[in-house]
A and B are shown apart, each in its own frame.
Chain A
C-alpha cells in the first residue's frame, strides 16, 4: 500500500546550498546582501509584493540562508517589474532590484521556470531578437511570446488591441535592425569571452570569488 503523496514544507540543512549566498553577493551589485537587517521596507514599498509567493524581504532572507531551489522557483523574481523602489528605499543600500535580476538570470540559465510562463519567455525572445538584430521589433517579440506561451488565449484577448494599434500606426511586424551588426556581435562576443575567462579563473581559485 502506498501512502498518499505529501509535499514536505519544512526545510532541513541538507536542502540548503551553502554557496548560494556567496554566489549572489559576489556579483556586481550583490555585495551588500549580508547587511540586510530584515526591516521589510522593500516589501512595504514594492507595488507587487501582494501578488508574490514570498515578499522581497523573504527572498533576501532565503537567498542568504541558501534556499536556492525555493528562491529560483518562486514567482517573486518574475513579478519584479524592476521599478527600483526597493533599491531607493533600502536603509542598508542593498541593490535589491539587481539581486532580483541576478536570480532571474540563474533561473533562466538553469531553465527552471514554469513551462509556457509568459515573463521569462518574453525575456528570452526579446534577448534573441535583439542579440541578432541590435534592435527590438515590438510586433515580432509579442508574436513570438504568444506562440511560445498560449497562442489561443492571446488571439482571443489581444488581437483586437493589436489591430487597433496597427490602425493608429503604433504597431508593426517589420523587422528592425542596425546597420553594423558585425560590430555589435564582436562586442557581445568579447564580453562573453571575458565572462568565461573570469569564471574559469574563479573556479581554479586564481581569483577570489
Chain B
C-alpha cells in the first residue's frame, strides 16, 4: 500500500518544518514505507484562513481530499493521506466531519468541486505519520531496526493540541501515549509529564510575543523539572515556538537553561542509524544531545 504524502506549507521547501519533512522521508525510506507526494496540493485552509472565511477554508481542504481520491483511488484499500503537520492533519480531519455533518456545507462544496471537474466521495483516510509508524509499521519492526539505541536520553513527548484534538483518530485526546511508546522502542526513556497536549501559543509568538512565548516557557520549564533532556515534537509550529524563543524565555521568564527540541522523526532517524544530514539535525539551533555518528552511542551512554 502506498501512502499519499501531503507536506503542507510549513513542511515544503525552505520553511520552519524543513527538518521535519527531511527526517520523516528518511525514516519512511529506512522502514520501507512506500509513499508519493500528493500532486499539486494546496494550503489546508488552516487557522488563519478559517478566521477569515470558513466555507473557503473547508473548500481548500476538500480540494486536497479530492486530489487524493483521484491519485490514490485505484487500490482495494481507501486512499490514505498522511501529513506531518499537526495543524493540516486536524483541519483535513475536521473538514471531513463538517462536510458529513452539515448538509449545507457539503452541498455547496460538492457543487463547487464539480464546477472545477473534481469530485469527492469521502473515501480518503487522513492519518498522521506517528499513527502510521506505530500502528502500521509496528514497534516491533522499528525496534528490530534500531542501530543506535537512544540510551540515557530522557524525552518529554510533546503532542501539541492538534494531533489529538478535536477529532482524535488514533489516540486519547487527554492522555496520548503513541509517541511515548515509539520513543521507548528507540531505546530512550519517555518522561511522565502532564503538559503533553497543552498549547504552545501557535502564532501568538509572532503577534503578542510575551503571551505566546510564555506558553512555550511553561512547557519547557515543566519538561526540565521532570528531568527531560530533550523535547520531542510532532508539529512544525510547536518545534519552532519551543526552540527559537529560548533566549527570551531565559531572559524574561527565568527558564533555567536551554532545552533541545527536535522532531520525533529526527529521534527515530538517529536511532535507525541514519546520517544526521538526512535528518536535518544541522538545522536545529540547539543541537540534540545524541551523537549523530554510529558507534559513539556507547560512549554517550557511559558519559551520562
Q: Are A88 and B42 in contact (CB under 8 A)?
A: no
Listed residue (A95, A136, A179) with the most chain B CB atoms within 10 angstroms of its CB: A136
**A77 to chain B: closest residue by CB:** B51
Question: Among the listed B13, B56, B90, B118, which residue makes an inter-chain contact with A188, where contact means beta carbons less than 8 Å apart?
Answer: B56
Interface presence of B37 (CB below 8 A):
no
Interface presence of B208 (CB below 8 A):
yes
Question: Among the listed A84, A119, A169, A186, which residue makes an inter-chain contact with B116, where contact means beta carbons less than 8 Å apart?
Answer: A186
Interface presence of B112 (CB below 8 A):
yes
Question: Among the listed A119, A134, A161, A169, which residue makes an inter-chain contact with B207, where contact means beta carbons less than 8 Å apart?
Answer: A119
Q: Are A170 and B49 in contact (CB under 8 A)?
A: no
A135-B9, A186-B112 known; A194 and B14 CB under 8 Å?
A: no
Q: How far is the CB of B239 from chain A (nearest CB, A)?
A: 10
For residue B41, which residues in chain A have a CB less than 8 angstroms away from its CB? 178
Q: Are B166 and A187 in contact (CB under 8 A)?
A: no
Stretch at the interface among A4-12, A17-25, A66-74, A101-109: A101-109
Q: Are A138 and B15 in contact (CB under 8 A)?
A: yes
Q: What 0/1 pattern do residues 175 to 203 of A give for CB contact below 8 A with B?
A: 01011100110111111111100100000
Q: Are A104 and B51 in contact (CB under 8 A)?
A: yes
Q: Are A81 and B116 in contact (CB under 8 A)?
A: no
Interface extent on B, as a size class? 35 or more
Interface presence of B285 (CB below 8 A):
yes
Q: Are B104 and A85 in contact (CB under 8 A)?
A: no
A119-B208, A169-B18 known; A187 and B108 CB under 8 Å?
A: no
Interface presence of B148 (CB below 8 A):
no
Interface presence of B206 (CB below 8 A):
yes
- In the bound complex, how far is the Cα of B136 from the Cα of A31, in angstroms? 38
For residue B202, which residues in chain A have a CB less than 8 angstroms away from its CB? 81-83
Q: Are A198 and B104 in contact (CB under 8 A)?
A: yes
Question: Among the listed A48, A172, A184, which residue makes an inter-chain contact with B42, where contact means beta carbons less than 8 Å apart?
Answer: A184
Q: Are B113 and A187 in contact (CB under 8 A)?
A: yes
For residue B285, which residues in chain A have a CB less than 8 angstroms away from its CB? 164, 168
**A136 to chain B: closest residue by CB:** B9
Q: How far is the CB of B244 from chain A (nearest CB, A)?
A: 6
Q: What 0/1 pattern do residues 149 to 164 of B give for CB contact below 8 A with A?
A: 0000000000001100
For residue A130, which residues in chain B have a CB less than 8 angstroms away from its CB? 42-43, 45, 49, 60
Q: Are B15 and A122 in contact (CB under 8 A)?
A: no
Q: Are A157 and B209 in contact (CB under 8 A)?
A: yes
Q: Are B162 and A134 in contact (CB under 8 A)?
A: no
Q: Are A85 and B161 in contact (CB under 8 A)?
A: yes
Interface presence of B303 (CB below 8 A):
no
**B42 to chain A: closest residue by CB:** A134
Q: Are B198 and A47 in contact (CB under 8 A)?
A: yes
Q: Are B13 and A180 in contact (CB under 8 A)?
A: no
A118-B206, A124-B52 known; A174 and B14 CB under 8 Å?
A: yes
For residue B104, which residues in chain A have a CB less than 8 angstroms away from its CB? 28, 198
Q: Are B116 and A190 in contact (CB under 8 A)?
A: yes
For residue B43, which residues in chain A have a CB less than 8 angstroms away from its CB? 130, 134-136
**B209 to chain A: closest residue by CB:** A157
Residues of B96-151 whose CB lies within 8 A of A = 98, 101-102, 104-105, 107-109, 111-113, 115-118
Q: Are A105 and B54 in contact (CB under 8 A)?
A: yes
A87-B166, A127-B49, A171-B14 known; A118 and B208 CB under 8 Å?
A: yes
Question: Among the listed B55, B116, B206, which residue makes an inter-chain contact with A192, where contact means beta carbons less than 8 Å apart?
Answer: B55
For residue A65, which residues in chain B have a CB less than 8 angstroms away from its CB? none
Question: Among the listed B10, B102, B108, B199, which residue makes an inter-chain contact with A194, where contact means beta carbons less than 8 Å apart?
Answer: B108
For residue A85, which residues in chain B have a CB less than 8 angstroms away from its CB? 161, 165, 197, 199
28 contacts between A and B (CB under 8 A): A28-B105, A51-B208, A79-B204, A79-B211, A81-B199, A81-B204, A81-B215, A84-B161, A88-B165, A88-B174, A122-B203, A123-B51, A127-B49, A130-B43, A130-B45, A130-B49, A136-B43, A168-B282, A168-B284, A174-B14, A178-B41, A178-B42, A186-B115, A190-B113, A191-B55, A191-B58, A191-B112, A194-B112
Q: A169-B283, A178-B41 are in contact. List 10 more A-B contacts (CB 8 A).
A: A81-B199, A118-B206, A126-B49, A127-B53, A176-B12, A176-B13, A183-B117, A187-B59, A187-B112, A194-B55
